Amino acid sequence: MVIRAKAPLRISFAGGGTDVPPFPEREGGAVLSATINRFAYGSLQPRTDGRMSIESVDFGMSMELDCAEDITFDGKLDLVKAAIRRVGRHETEGYDLVLRSNAPPGSGLGSSSTMVVALVGLLQERYQLTLTEYEAAHLAYQIERADLGIHGGLQDHYAATFGGFNYIEFGNHVVVNPLRVRDWIVNELELNLMLCFTGVTRESANIIADQTSRVESKEDDTLAGMRAQKELALAMKTALLRGELNELGALLGEAWTQKKKMSPMISTPHIDEAYEIATANGALGGKVTGAGGGGYMLFYCEFRRKHRVAEVLARMGGEVTEFAFASQGLTTWSMSDA
């Protein structure tokens, strides 16, 4: 029996960074996000020779492990090894793992964290673990942040596990508030939003480490930007649920202005130029979708101007794409290997 899993990537409208410790413990964080039809996929096929093979299509890398040997981290597929070591450390028979994603690592769509969620789904089915959505998301967070010490927040693991539109609150506990967004609003968003790949992937942990050090040293601009992000996440939630989408587009631009205050590493001259060109040609607002420095930018444009914005971004080297929203979170299933 072969086990399959998929978990959706996400776009973040506002609040990103307020989910990164120590800010949520000190002041509470909030993020407005939604999952889209880009996924991290995984397949697990059991074997009986006491070995495990891992193939990562995204990294073009593969390796084999002996079930009887201790798993060590050496920079090669450590995320996968960390998940196996935490969940499947007593494995004796072995299996083949194949993993791939619709977005490259460093895309700003939460691809690395989403892959960990997909891995948790595979291993949960392999070992018949009974986990709630909150437990699965927390386990994925622990694997990436605690076991490997990778700097970052909590939102991606919860977004990928729960799926859909969510207003997620962070503090002593994480609370996921699913939003009942009407169908016409979802359709209109899909018509008016676009993603533009900047052509550059980045190591988000470096940007987040800089942001964290600024929070710990209580730098005024960083804290002001993060507090504004929380307020904007709430304001955008209201605009979203009321169908005030031009207002949401404008708030998206304000979220970008405030986000840039959190660290000088978040924007680049290329990103600033893309934003200025997009808004000059009709975009109501936009922002990077992750920690910053590269990856994807999200723009809101009225449909009649959207093609013009896409054309000017393409002329400056951006890869423009449309997308749809995905309502389901982490999904697992099994099939015969015959």
Contact 116, 150 (CB under 8 A): no
Catalytic residues: 156
Q: What is the chain's length?
A: 338
Classified as helix, coil or strand, 69 is coil
Please enumerate in sequence order all residues whose Cβ is within 8 A of that of 208, keeping only pairs 6 or more positions apart, or say none: 17, 20, 151, 152, 153, 291
Query: At residue 337, does pLDDT exceed 80?
Result: no
Phi, psi of 251 (to 5 degrees): -65, -30
In this predicted model, what pLDDT tens digit does every residue of 298-318 receive, in sequence order?
Answer: 999 999 999 999 999 999 999
Q: What is the pLDDT of residue 203?
A: 64
Global pTM reads 0.95
Please, which pLDDT band fits residue 293 given cuts at 50, 70 and 90?
Answer: confident
Tokens (6 digits) for 258: 């405030």
Residues 202, 203, 208, 213, CA torsion sign? negative
Please, which pLDDT band fits residue 338 given cuts at 50, 70 and 90?
Answer: low
In this predicted model, what pLDDT tens digit does every residue of 64-118 receive, in sequence order?
Answer: 999 999 999 999 999 999 999 999 888 999 999 999 998 877 788 999 999 999 9
Residues 329, 334, 335, 337, CA torsion sign? positive
Cα–Cα distance between 260 and 300 in angstroms, integer? 18
Query: At residue 167, does pLDDT exceed 80?
Result: yes
More confident residue, 294 or 188: 188
Domains of the chain: 2-179 (3.30.230.10), 183-321 (3.30.70.890)
Classified as helix, coil or strand, 169 is strand
Q: What is the pLDDT of residue 198?
A: 86
Cα–Cα distance between 116 and 99 in angstroms, integer? 10
More confident residue, 105 or 166: 166
Phi, psi of 134 (to 5 degrees): -65, -40
Q: What is the pLDDT of residue 291?
A: 78
In this predicted model, what pLDDT tens digit does every residue of 14-61 receive, in sequence order?
Answer: 999 999 999 999 999 999 999 999 999 999 999 999 999 999 999 899
Q: What is the pLDDT of residue 207?
A: 82
Q: What is the pLDDT of residue 91?
A: 93
- Cis bond before residue 22 (omega within 30° of 0): yes
Cα–Cα distance between 291 and 52 in angstroms, integer? 33
